[in-house]
């Protein structure tokens, strides 16, 4: 979401997940959900440099609305956010799209970060990363997630 509270979706993005005119599948679409604008920007920039369409939200409630509009393939989801945290958001996102790949991320917050990341896996996250992480670690996690199951 931007400072006006509106979701940030690339203007040129078609919200369908159809293939292009040559029949090639479209690139995976990413939704980055983090209430830290700096971290959100770093992840978004990295994904865009890799050529992926990216949308961002700053809490789980906004992510649910944006998931319906943007139709991401992968959600990178912080665990500690206002309005709706990551643990609450994972099952709701999976109800919208059971095939959705979720990467849970956490830098701390109240309680045990490891416990929250383990819980995230139990409720549907495919992969987890502890903040701070490097671009290499993010790329490796995404590579695993983008492989067919």
pLDDT, position 120 = 96
Query: Containing H/E element for 45?
Result: helix 37-49
Average pLDDT of every residue of the chain: 87
Cα-based torsion angle of the residue sequence 13, 15, 17, 19 in order, rounded to the nearest 10 degrees: -50
Q: Identify the band that residue 74 occupies on the pLDDT scale cut at 50, 70 and 90.
A: very high
Q: Parse the chain into domains and list their residue ranges.
A: 30-145
Q: How much is the average pLDDT of 24-30?
A: 91
Count of positions (residues) in the chain: 149
Write down the pLDDT at residue 111: 65
HEC string of 70-131? HCCCEEEEECCCCCCCHHHHHHHHHHHCCCCEEEEEECCCCCCHHHHHHHHHHCCCCEEEEC
CB atoms within 10 A of CB 44: 19
Contact 1, 40 (CB under 8 A): no
pLDDT tens digits, one per residue of 80-106: 998 999 999 999 999 999 999 999 999
Tokens matching residue 3: 């400072």
Give the range among 20-34, 83-97, 107-121 with minimum mean pLDDT: 107-121
What's domain 30-145's architecture? Answer: 3-Layer(aba) Sandwich (3.40)
Say what the pTM is: 0.84
Contact 69, 15 (CB under 8 A): yes
pLDDT at 20: 58
């Amino acid at each position: 979401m931007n400072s006006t509270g509106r979701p940030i979706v690339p203007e040129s993005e078609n919200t369908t997940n159809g293939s292009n005119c040559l029949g090639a599948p479209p690139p995976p679409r990413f939704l980055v959900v983090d209430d830290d604008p700096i971290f959100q920007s770093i992840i978004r920039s990295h994904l865009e440099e890799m050529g992926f369409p990216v949308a961002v939200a700053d809490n789980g409630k906004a992510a649910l609305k944006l998931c319906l509009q943007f139709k991401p393939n992968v959600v990178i989801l912080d665990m500690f956010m206002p309005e709706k945290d990551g643990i609450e958001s994972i099952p709701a996102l999976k109800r919208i799209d059971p095939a959705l790949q979720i990467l849970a991320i956490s830098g701390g917050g109240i309680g045990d970060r490891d416990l929250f990341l383990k819980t995230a896996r139990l409720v549907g996250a495919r992969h987890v990363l502890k903040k701070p992480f490097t671009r290499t670690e993010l790329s490796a996690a995404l590579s695993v997630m983008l492989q067919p199951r």
